[in-house]
C-alpha cells in the first residue's frame, strides 16, 4: 500500500502537520515536527502560547511562571535537542522542593537534601530517625512506581502496594 500524505491548506500555505494547543507539550511536539522538516502549524485559542509554562511579570524585570512551578518531568534530551539554552531557557534546581504551610503557622518542607528533609520531619513528628529517613528517601521512588503504569495505561485502575521491613 502506498503512503498517503495529507496536507492542510490555509490561504495558499500548505501544512504537513497541525498541532492543536500551544501549551508546552504542543510546542515541544511542533518543534520536533518542524525540526524533522515538516511544515508545522500550531493552533492556540489563547492570545499567547505556553499554557502552564507561560510567564508573567510581577514587577519590572521579575518574570515568574504563571502556573507551573516546576519542570521536573521535562526531559533533559528535549532541552538539548531543541537547544533551549541558546534560546534563553535556564533551569535551576531550588533547595526547597515542596513547601506546605499549615493554618497554625508551621510548615512541612521537603528539601533537595534528604538529610535536611528527614531532620525537619523528625522535629515535626517525633518519629524515629531511621524511619523518617526511609520515608524521605523511598517516597519519590514509590510515587514513580505508582505513576508509571497509570501513565502507560491510563484506562486501567491500579492498586499499588509496597511491603517494607524495618
Residue 160, in any domain of the structure: no
* Strand 40-43 to 55-59 pairing: unpaired
If asked whether residues 101 and 51 sit together in one domain, one would say no
Residue burial 47-69, b: 16+ Cβ < 10 Å; e: rest: eebbbebbeeeeeeeeeeeeebe
Residue 125, in any domain of the structure: yes
pLDDT bin (cut points 50, 70, 90) of residue 148 is: low
Question: What is the Cα–Cα distance from 23 to 45, expressed in whole angstroms?
Answer: 10
Domain stops at, among 81, 107, 136: 81
Domain stops at, among 50, 81, 112: 81
User: What pLDDT was estimated at residue 144?
Assistant: 55
Domain count of the chain? 2
**For 7-34, what is each residue's pLDDT tens digit?**
666 667 788 899 999 998 899 999 999 9
pTM: 0.57
Residue 2, in any domain of the structure: no
Amino acid at each position: 500500500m502506498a503512503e498517503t500524505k495529507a496536507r492542510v491548506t490555509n490561504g495558499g500555505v500548505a501544512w504537513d502537520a497541525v498541532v492543536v494547543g500551544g501549551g508546552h507539550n504542543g510546542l515541544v511536539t511542533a518543534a520536533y515536527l518542524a525540526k524533522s522538516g515538516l511544515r508545522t502549524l500550531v493552533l492556540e485559542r489563547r492570545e499567547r502560547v505556553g499554557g502552564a509554562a507561560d510567564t508573567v511579570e510581577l514587577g519590572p524585570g521579575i518574570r515568574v511562571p504563571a502556573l507551573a512551578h516546576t519542570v521536573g518531568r521535562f526531559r533533559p534530551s528535549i532541552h538539548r535537542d531543541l537547544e533551549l539554552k541558546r534560546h534563553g531557557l535556564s533551569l535551576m534546581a531550588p533547595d526547597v522542593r515542596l513547601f506546605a504551610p499549615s493554618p497554625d503557622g508551621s510548615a512541612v518542607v521537603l528539601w533537595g537534601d534528604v538529610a535536611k528533609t528527614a531532620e525537619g520531619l523528625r522535629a515535626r513528628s517525633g518519629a524515629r530517625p531511621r524511619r523518617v529517613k526511609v520515608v524521605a528517601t523511598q517516597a519519590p521512588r514509590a510515587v514513580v512506581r505508582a505513576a508509571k503504569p497509570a501513565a502507560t495505561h491510563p484506562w486501567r485502575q491500579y492498586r499499588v502496594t509496597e511491603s517494607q521491613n524495618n
